[in-house]
Amino acid sequence: MVTIAEIFSEDKNGLVRTYDSNTALISPALINKIRPSHINVPVNSNNTSAPLFSLYISPSSGLRKAEPLAVSWNSGNHIALVPNQNFLSSFKLIPRLTSDVTVWDDLSRPRYDIIENKPLSKYEFPHYSPAFVKIHADYLNEYLIFRKKAAVKIFQDIRDVEINEDILTLLAGKKYFIHETKQYEVRINKLSHKENIARIEINGFQVLFNGTDLEEEPNESLPMGHYWKGIEGLVTEHRARHELPFQYVFVSDDVLGKYEEDDDFEVWPESGGVRYGIHWAVSDCERVGKNTIRIELKKLYEGTPWEVISLWNKFSIDPSTINPNEENIVEKAERLIRKYFIFGKLLSDVVNKICDFDTCPAQLIGLEGKSVEYHGLTQHPDIKPITNHVNPDVFSQSQFITRCKFLNALISENLQERQLRKVVQKLGFPDDEIKSFRSLKLLDLVLLN
Q: What is the pLDDT along the chain (449 residues), one digit of tens a residue?
A: 999 999 999 998 889 999 999 999 988 888 888 888 888 887 776 655 555 788 888 888 888 888 899 999 999 899 999 999 889 988 899 999 888 899 999 988 888 899 999 999 999 988 999 999 999 998 998 888 888 888 999 999 999 988 888 888 888 888 889 998 888 999 998 887 788 888 999 999 999 887 654 444 444 444 578 999 988 889 988 888 888 888 999 999 999 988 988 888 899 999 999 998 888 899 889 999 999 999 999 999 988 888 899 999 999 999 999 998 899 999 998 899 999 999 999 989 988 988 888 888 888 888 888 888 877 888 788 888 888 888 877 777 888 888 888 888 888 888 888 888 888 888 888 888 888 888 888 888 888 87
Contact between residue 168 and residue 198 where contact means Cβ atoms under 8 Å apart: no
162 alpha-carbon distance from chain centroid: 46
Alpha helices in 243-396 (DSSP H): 257-260, 297-300, 306-313, 329-355, 362-365, 369-375
Euclidean distance between CA atoms 94 and 264, whole angstroms: 15
What is the enclosing helix (H) or strand (E) of 68?
Answer: strand 67-68
The residue length of the chain stands at 449
Contact between residue 111 and residue 129 where contact means Cβ atoms under 8 Å apart: no
Euclidean distance between CA atoms 66 and 63, whole angstroms: 5
